[in-house]
Structure 1
Amino acid sequence: MAEVGVAKFFKPFNISIAFKTSNSVKRNLVKPLDKPDPLSKSGVYSLHCADCPTIYAGQSERKISTRVQEHLGLVNKFKATDIVETKSAFANHLLSTGHNFSYPNNVAVVHDCQKGKKLDLLEKLEITRAKNSPVLPWVNNVFNFEPGLIFNNIL
């Protein structure tokens, strides 16, 4: 019992030592809640092609998983056809190249955020980062954004 020796040592100096146990009833009975699935939230996400380094950055005010399933739905809908132009630039990449995508392995939640201007700004930031990357090819073709002073300083 080293604690008792410490208390005795400080007693002549009029210093009281308090001890706290880490083994409590609460610690042993209460289980932490499971963390929610990040794909069940809204925010900015990136999709990564399974066969090449191509990425797509997007946002969803709904569940990210719902938006990703829409991209994949277009791929599945047009896979057996000659159509390679859809509403989704990422689906277009998969259809035109015949590349694969693994859900949820190739999905990354970049920013957990609610709808609004902040969500738009974070999406622009991620697209700008991808666009300026010398290594990663990006497929966001519907977004024409020239970064301002803020983005230049962040990147």
Structure 2
Amino acid sequence: MRCLECGGEMHLTSAPFTEVFRGEELTICGINYYQCEKCDEIVFDAAEGKKYDQQIIDQYSKAVGLLSPTGIKELRKRHGLTQKEFQRVLGVADPTVSRWESGKVLQTKPVDNLMRIYKEHDNIFMESIKQVGIMADRGDCIILPFPKAQKEQASYDFEAREM
């Protein structure tokens, strides 16, 4: 295979390499790619390119202190929200959450800060959900995270009242 930049020979490798993304130096590992022996140009196939993109987004998010795409999805699912409902809570346009969760777009720092508050303070998240009317849409029913110890205590209290 010949390099499209300089015409040099390209060789398949999976050696780690460094990439600068938005001013952050990131090390990419575990990806197969072709590298030119003359100009060091790198070329991926489609599948490896997706892995590369995912590593870039995950590493960059971590480096600058943003929630990862997986972290955003976990926060949304923890409360049983759809992407559209989560967008209503955050006040962002459709299909923003889908783009964040897929890693196609990074969230802004202010929205990231809000999501981190929601992640740490369920009561604030629940109040925001109520404010946009999602609970009313579901008949005043929503999924809440319930620690196992509290769940067992609630089950015990319920059984005691029935007797």
TM-score computed with the length of structure 2 as normaliser: 0.22
TM-score computed with the length of structure 1 as normaliser: 0.23
Higher relative contact order (CA 8 A, sep 6+): 1
Larger Rg: 1
